[in-house]
Structure 1
Amino acid sequence: MEQAVDGSCKVEVSDIDYLQRAGRTLQARMYVPEGDGPFPLVIEVHGGAWCRGSRVDDHNLNVGLASRGVVVAAIDFTMPPDGAYPASFHDINFAVRWFKESAWRWRSQANLVGLLGVSSGGHQAVLSALCASDGRYAQSPLPGSTDIDARVAFVIACWPVIDPLGRYRYAKSLQAAGSDYPEAIDRVIPDQEKYWGSEEAMGEGAPATALERGDELDLPPLLCIQGGEDIVHPRAQLDRFLESYRRAGGDARLSLYVGEAESFITRRPDAEATARAIQEIGDYVLTRGRAVRAA
């Protein structure tokens, strides 16, 4: 049992197996608040340019949410060299269905399950939510069950790489210009190439492009968190996506943290802006949970 960071309640932290994939065991780190529930349950998808990181990366964010009454399942998923696009989406789609089926184990309910992602994880959370029924991603059967889908009650994207192809070309242009740019750019270009394999795949996996094509998509309520000084995740690409989301009939909000750069929640765990962002995300999840229960 771990004491929550703000002292509001205790949070139990443990690791569980959720999927066997080609001889590998994929795990989730569970953050479960003390109490009777029913709690909203957030499946958290870590960042790392689709190629790096693990379920332990966003501990500060996840324990902060759990201390406010949200169950968090921070998942591992397939990354290169074990598998490139769309392998991680197979895992995330499966995880949504698996946690919906087993939500009762953590004093939650299937209709209270949502997705949260950070950076490339934000992109994966959004695309997984939009394409919940897409056969390209819903390829892993849930043992013993056929009627549980991967639709979610809400999705939260923290500084998402919302347009993989646009960000790839943007990063290449920063390199070519020869002026100062964030060191992260030199890492994300080869990572994107390793995960996506081609610009065609990057375009296929761009949520704004899917919306503009008029694809049949799910549009759960969406909250985006972005630092106002973030130049690793281009603001114009996020604005284009949000405009397309709203035009398609979805409820999408952007919360901009003035003066903050990329990954501020992860990089500055003790900052006042980080505390505000965790509270905002928690309030959003709890509000969505109350709306679902009242419906």
Structure 2
Amino acid sequence: MSATAPLPPLRPGVTLRPDQVFSRAGGQDRLADLYLPAGAGPHPAVIFLHGGGWRFGDRRLAPDLSRHFAEAGYVMVSIDYRLSGEAGFPAAVEDVVSAICWLRATAAQHGVDPDRIALMGSSAGGHLACLAALAPETFRGGDCLPVGAQVAAVIDGYGPVDFTRIDAQRDPDALPGTDPESAHLPPPRPMSDPGALECLFLGGVVADIPDRARAASPLSHVSAAAPPMLIAHGTFDGAIPPAQSAQLFEALDRAGARAEWLQIEGLGHGFLNRSALDEAGPFAMTRRLSRAAGGTGAAIAERSGVWQAIRSFLDRTLPGPAR
């Protein structure tokens, strides 16, 4: 799917502000599409990061952001970032941090509350969201504006968090996703294969670059200073093992950070690309809350729509007027 693909019709009251330049890293314009809700704001905002194995995709590889979020009062910002065919780690996460700084610096002209900005990502985008939120100063590139890069919340959709353990955790019998992202993904390859998407992103096989692999793993950057995180993963994910999300939740819990982990029964990889997902729901899921979020880590069984659960998290985490 390319940036020239047609977008779904905008919902009533939502305005599209396309092709905004947020960075010129690497000598090229890096673009964002903004979906603006009705009203002057200031509104909370969510920066959406597409998936695609860090190798393909762009800001239009996304669910219906107008329908699910902008209509509910959120400014949605879907961005491009440098893919591994152009530049490897850490270029993509530097672009995400630049987008955060740009949105904070230009918040007034877009009707955004700079203190209520969240990140949301699918797969590789979930990985980048976690990395940028956990270590924004580490990944502040030279093209980043001199403003704060912190965010108020993160939604991580099945992103890898520990490149050193993916091989051991993968289920060879798990089914591939059927969404637009997964349709382009090759079958997972081991971390010893230089053609694996993870290795193309990292710039080598994991065993040869252990320090780089750890630096690129969000798990290495977890601390009590982490913003509140919602981690969502399907039980049938054949690309990124659900155990990766379990690792992240447990590390955040130990660190004293606020975290929620949703394990959704029967879903495979890439479900955040499915705009009509909740029409097949509600889904059986288990929710775990970290101790800092008021939980015990024990599983709580519930049924909910996925988009409904994400909006509920945002409503609780980014409260305030003008939404």
What's the CA shift string for 1:49-104, capped at 9, x where partnerless? 11111000004245421111111111101112210011111111111111111111
C-alpha displacement of 1:277: 1.8
Structure 2 equivalent of residue 36 of structure 1: 40
Whether contact under 8 Å (1:11, 1:63) holds in the other structure is no
TM superposition shift of 1:153: 0.6
2:118 corresponds to: 114
Q: How many residues align?
A: 276
Pairs within 5 Å for 1:145-164 = 146=146, 148-164=147-163
Confirm whether residue 86 of structure 1 aligns to residue 90 of structure 2. yes
Residues 173-192 of structure 1, C-alpha deviations (whole Å, 9 max, x = no match): 84xxxx78648674453222
Q: Superposed, which structure 2 residues align to 1:115-134 within 5 Å? A: 115-134=119-138
Distance 1:170 1:289, change over 3 A: closer
Distance 1:33 1:274 in 2: 26
Alignment of 1:201-240 (within 5 A): 201-211=212-222, 218-240=225-247
The verdict on how the C-alpha distance between 1:61 and 1:3 changes in structure 2, with shifts beyond 3 A counting, is: closer
Q: Which runs of 5+ in 1 are unaligned?
A: none
**1:27 alignment partner, SS class:** strand
Q: TM-score, normalised by structure 1?
A: 0.83
Query: Secondary structure at the residue paired with 1:290?
Result: coil
Distance 1:123 1:210, change over 3 A: same
Q: Which structure features the higher share of helix residues?
A: 1
Aligned with 1:15: secondary structure?
A: strand
Let me know the Cα RMSD of the aligned residues. 2.7
2:29 to 22, 25, 30: 25
2:253 aligned with 1:261, yes or no? Answer: no
Q: Distance in 2 between matches of 1:77 and 1:105?
A: 23
2:314 paired residue number: 285
1:229 deviates by 2.2
Letter matched to residue 138 of structure 1: R
| Cα deviation, residue 255, structure 1 | 1.9
CA distance in 1, matches of 2:25, 2:115: 26
Deviation at 1:141, TM superposition (A): 4.5
Using the size of structure 2 for normalisation, the TM-score is 0.76
Matched position secondary structure for 1:164: coil
The structure-2 alpha-carbon separation of the partners of 1:120 and 1:217, relative to structure 1 and needing over 3 Å to count, comes to farther
Q: One-letter code of the match for 2:56?
A: R
The 1:104/1:63 distance shift into structure 2, 3 A limit, reads: farther
Distance 1:274 1:125, change over 3 A: farther
- The answer as to whether partners of 2:236 and 2:266 remain within 8 angstroms in 1 is yes
> 2:70 aligned to 62, 66, 69, which one?
66
Percent identical = 25
SS in 2 for 1:161: coil
Change (3 A) 1:58 1:181: closer
Gaps of 5+ in 2: 1-6, 190-195, 283-304
* Candidates 102, 109, 115, aligned match of 1:105: 109
